[in-house]
Structure 1
Amino acid sequence: MAHRAFMRMLELEFDELGPTRVVGSVAADERHHQPWGVVHGGLYTTAIESFATMGAVEAVKDRGLRAVGISNHTDFVRPHRSGRLEVVATPVHQGSSQQLWQVELRRPDDHKLIARGQVRLQNVPAERE
């Protein structure tokens, strides 16, 4: 599936995947730099939406639903040049029709916050394959 290839390309790793917490990491290095030599914010936004979506889907899949992002707000807190970043996603709200997840990306060595985001997701019927 194309979405899995995209996640592999970004080197997203999921160490814990559940309906109330998703933990993992994302690669961040010179391949992801903007012209000024720091990681492009689009990488953070993509990781934030990916981790929130994975958790949201886990929360509703047993009800024959999936979750799709409808809003992504990402704050870039400090620049980062290179090294994997820890990612932790947790739900703020899990309702019958929508979910709201918060996600943080931190450096593993000093735990400084690099970016944080909030993703609103709509719970929709799962497509039949």
Structure 2
Amino acid sequence: MGRVRTYEWDDPSITAAAVGTASGLEFLRSVQKRQLPAAPISATLDFTLDEVAEGRAVFSMTPGEEHYNPIGSVHGGVYATLLDSAAGCAVQSTLPPGMGYTSLDLSVKFLKRITSDTGRIRAIGTIISRGRQTALAQAQLVDEGDRVLAHATSSCMIFPVPAAAG
């Protein structure tokens, strides 16, 4: 018999409409406090935004077999999703109202295998440099003993967000 996992998510257009209406840090704090819905991908993979500060964002999850690839360990796409989220949100946390961002690239180095026996993992994103149009951030995926499981760098484009139609 196959295994079953069900989950729910909220309407992503609610959160998307709030981008740029406050600073990036205020926006992320609203998501963290559940005043705004989290991204649907966080429900799909079952991860949460645990910490956010200026230039820093931390996501965490407990990997399970639903995250596995065909060879019995967590799929690299799960690593990449957590690392991309942490690095991107580190950039977002530095943005003033009216500005948004998008990832231009993500370079991931996989260092250790992750399985359901690994326990809770955290993706810790920090900003390296931010200019007016681009930013560079990094993220580390660590286990409960702070051993580095993967590392990533990400370049992000920064742009004005169109004002919502009133």
Please, which moves more after superposition, 51-60 or 3-12?
A: 3-12
Contact conserved, 2:45 with 2:67, CA < 8 A, in 1? no
Identity of aligned residues (%): 24
Please, which moves more after superposition, 51-60 or 118-127?
A: 51-60
Q: Does 1 or 2 have the higher relative contact order (CA < 8 Å, sep 6+)?
A: 1
Q: Which amino acid aligns with 2:134?
A: Q
How far has the Cα of 1:100 moved from its partner?
Answer: 0.6
How far has the Cα of 1:61 moved from its partner?
Answer: 3.5
1:49 is aligned to 84
d(CA) in 1 for partners of 2:157, 2:54 = 15
Map 1:1-129 → 2, pairs under 5 A: 1=12, 4-62=39-97, 64-82=98-116, 83-108=119-144, 110-129=145-164
Q: Which amino acid aligns with 1:94?
A: R
d(CA) in 1 for partners of 2:153, 2:122 = 16
d(CA) in 2 for partners of 1:20, 1:32 = 28
Extract unaligned runs of 5+ from structure 1.
Answer: none
Contact conserved, 1:89 with 1:104, CA < 8 A, in 2? yes
Please, which moves more after superposition, 1-10 or 82-91?
A: 1-10
After TM superposition, where is structure 1 displaced by more than 2 Å over at least 4 residues in a row?
A: none
d(CA) in 2 for partners of 1:61, 1:31 = 37
Q: How many residues matched?
A: 127
Contact conserved, 2:100 with 2:161, CA < 8 A, in 1? yes
The alignment's TM-score, normalised by the length of structure 1, stands at 0.89
How far has the Cα of 1:54 moved from its partner?
Answer: 1.6
Other structure's SS at 1:122 match = strand
How far has the Cα of 1:124 moved from its partner?
Answer: 1.0
Extract unaligned runs of 5+ from structure 2.
Answer: 1-11, 14-37
2:9 is aligned to none
Q: Greater strand share, 1 or 2?
A: 1
d(CA) in 2 for partners of 1:17, 1:79 = 27
How far has the Cα of 1:14 moved from its partner?
Answer: 1.4
How far has the Cα of 1:103 moved from its partner?
Answer: 0.3
The alignment's TM-score, normalised by the length of structure 2, stands at 0.71
Q: Deviations over 1:78-109 (max 9, x none)?
A: 1011232112111111111111111001111x
